[in-house]
Structure 1
């Protein structure tokens, strides 16, 4: 059979590459109707972005003047590509961000120019949420309808991987390393707080699977650690006045201190690389809070970044989808109360691609 050029597209939110890009990043984020619904969104998104920009610029200024997410994602793609090549699989890699360059549209255009015929849409959110993976896949669907209506590229989707064994081992290794940095006499007293980006309660009520998948990741990590420490799941990065999933990370830190717990290990469990939520919110904002409320030992576990076990995880996910493809069983299921018509269209679109891949691979095996 003729070799078909393969391309892996890393999908993520992205972050501003400079302080001058912050307002545009926020404007695109608040314009995303897959993420949120606002009155007169075309105009209100720009107003909200302009109002929030000074504060957010100040936060980015404290972590180096930009988001490091592109740099980390580029390193991850390069290391994964090298690892796959060592296993005899040559793939092109691409980055498609939702709110900053390189955008999904730019990545798809480059894939077509490169002659890619087998694409893997690889969500860099281990736990699926309609606000993250769902939004990215909806955007990819819109881009493909515009730029590849004849379906030159056949697509597979890695939409979630919250309990992949190498992801869990990577997290467990990083947690163990951080606990070992505590004074020996208080290591057993540590409380592990798994922190993830929160979600509006109305999204949870629609049936978004994110909270359950975050919980699955946390439970698997604790099991890998041998149930060595007590833990809780907490939620960060709430925006706006509406109710969000709790307990919030800052409230949890305050409550633990009040209840006499003085040793806390914070684990960013829904992020695959460092960015503003880890470098500013956890390392600066919550570290300062921990000091104020009387937590004596506060450790933040490193993000996955280029941890070798994590790179092996990325490689294994791609290999398994290319060598032993099985249709994602969850991807085609919409939330019970979903009101987004694009979501259903996108799921059906990728389901059709998966059916075509199954037929193609069945035909290939028959010929061989």
Structure 2
């Protein structure tokens, strides 16, 4: 499908979070082949791929709400991609000559297939196959769909490489999937969608372990003083509000769960990065927050990429090169960035739980998880629509950033010893005067 075809076919309702979040579990019978599509944005794997990748990105009406359509949009996207390509080629050259995102996403899908087969395949009589699909580069969604048809897939699970839902990422990908069906460019399968897994305990623990690993790179005598800066990819604030996008609520939910898991052992901030263009963006920005910390004589900072699950330009260049240089120039003595999750075993388990929770398997999967005795030693897997939301903070059920109350869905029952939720980090709110409110561009590469 060409970008022009998608412009012509797409329906804004196809990316609606309300529709995605209301889907029920998918009935699976013994002998079924379940195809799990692990999807992401993609990225240019070589320097020659940078310009076409940017063009595809700019042609997405859900990602860039431009005032022109049709041929004018094509011309504008081509022109901007041509102008921006050289700057981005320089950045990709600095991180190895291309984006590692697509390769790492394939590795995640392969690891997930092995995990699903070993943990659930034999005991349920179900075959699991995983596929990697990228929104703006190879392998495109239609390539994944063609392979699924060739493999004889019976039913499908769409699993985002984005723990937090956004119209601009998960929503856009799902709209593209539906457009392929409308254009009769893919086969059809009974399908379920994983909307988000922003508070999955295995995902939260994996992030926490990456923090622990990175803290070891700081001198022992400063570790307790290290400020954690959780950095999520930014989105346009105005467009998000209009579309009921829960993204910032989900980001805050993830940070809250990570810090609760860590017993709030370090000072922390929640920030947003990689702004593109002059629109109204979420705040505070990551670079501005780093500068403010330096002005307040904080000398040890650990940046935690919280909405990114693979290494790519937004982490390897934006954070580890660009933001690092600014931090060091302003007197930050110790600056580190946590490694991305990539194929961290706990993250692969989280993807497995997110997948299995959406399936009504021929065997009670919770009996399998709890050793067959029915006694819960963890948390039962339940379909997305059956799980309640996390609270966002102790004072209000509304997000301080967007005014919404769409916290991530719970995986575990509330712990009454810690409920209601402890107050979220005040520095991540729009109203806190101690935090910079501006946003700053870092990159417009892959996500």
TM-score, structure 2 normalization? 0.71
Shift of 1:327: 5.5
In structure 1, distance between residues paired with 2:203 and 2:382? 20
Question: Residue in 2 aligned with 1:165?
Answer: 201
For residues 79-132 of structure 1, the C-alpha deviation after alignment (integer angstroms, 9 at most, x for no partner) is: 111111112413111111110011011111221222111100001100000000
For residue 256 of structure 2, give the secondary structure of its aligned residue in structure 1.
Answer: helix
> Does structure 2 retain, via aligned residues, the 8 Å contact 1:157–1:328?
no
For residue 102 of structure 2, give the secondary structure of its aligned residue in structure 1.
Answer: helix
Q: How does 1:182-261 map to 2 (within 5 A)?
A: 182-206=218-242, 207-261=244-298
**RMSD of equivalent CA atoms:** 1.7
Question: Residue in 1 aligned with 2:111?
Answer: 79
For residue 271 of structure 2, give the secondary structure of its aligned residue in structure 1.
Answer: strand
Question: Residue in 1 aligned with 2:175?
Answer: 138
Question: Residue in 1 aligned with 2:18?
Answer: none
> Does structure 2 retain, via aligned residues, the 8 Å contact 1:122–1:157?
yes
Q: Larger helix proportion, structure 1 or 2?
A: 1
Question: Residue in 2 aligned with 1:297?
Answer: 334
Question: Residue in 2 aligned with 1:53?
Answer: 85
> Does structure 2 retain, via aligned residues, the 8 Å contact 1:129–1:210?
yes
In structure 2, distance between residues paired with 1:307 and 1:93? 17
Structure 1: segments with no counterpart, 5+ residues:
331-368
For residue 222 of structure 2, give the secondary structure of its aligned residue in structure 1.
Answer: helix
Shift of 1:326: 2.8
Q: Does 1:326 align with 2:383?
A: yes
Shift of 1:217: 0.1
Closer, same or farther: CA 253–149 of 1 in aligned 2, 3 Å? closer
Shift of 1:244: 1.3
Question: Residue in 1 aligned with 2:414?
Answer: none
Structure 2: segments with no counterpart, 5+ residues:
1-28, 122-126, 362-380, 388-447
State which drifts further: 40-49 or 54-63.
40-49
Which residue, 5, 27, 31 being the options, matches 2:59? 31
In structure 1, distance between residues paired with 2:59 and 2:78? 8
For residues 34-91 of structure 1, the C-alpha deviation after alignment (integer angstroms, 9 at most, x for no partner) is: 2122133222111111111110111101111111011111111111111111124131
For residue 87 of structure 1, give the secondary structure of its aligned residue in structure 2.
Answer: helix
For residues 263-308 of structure 1, the C-alpha deviation after alignment (integer angstroms, 9 at most, x for no partner) is: 1110000001000000100111011111100001111111001111
In structure 1, distance between residues paired with 2:30 and 2:351? 26
Question: Residue in 1 aligned with 2:140?
Answer: 103
Shift of 1:135: 0.2
Question: Residue in 2 aligned with 1:366?
Answer: none
Question: Residue in 2 aligned with 1:13?
Answer: 41
In structure 1, distance between residues paired with 2:356 and 2:30? 19
Question: Residue in 2 aligned with 1:267?
Answer: 304
In structure 1, distance between residues paired with 2:264 and 2:232? 20
For residues 338-360 of structure 1, the C-alpha deviation after alignment (integer angstroms, 9 at most, x for no partner) is: xxxxxxxxxxxxxxxxxxxxxxx
In structure 1, distance between residues paired with 2:180 and 2:171? 14
State which drifts further: 228-237 or 81-90.
81-90
In structure 2, distance between residues paired with 1:150 and 1:294? 57
Shift of 1:5: 1.4
| Aligned pairs, number | 329
> Does structure 1 retain, via aligned residues, the 8 Å contact 2:194–2:384?
no
Question: Residue in 1 aligned with 2:149?
Answer: 112
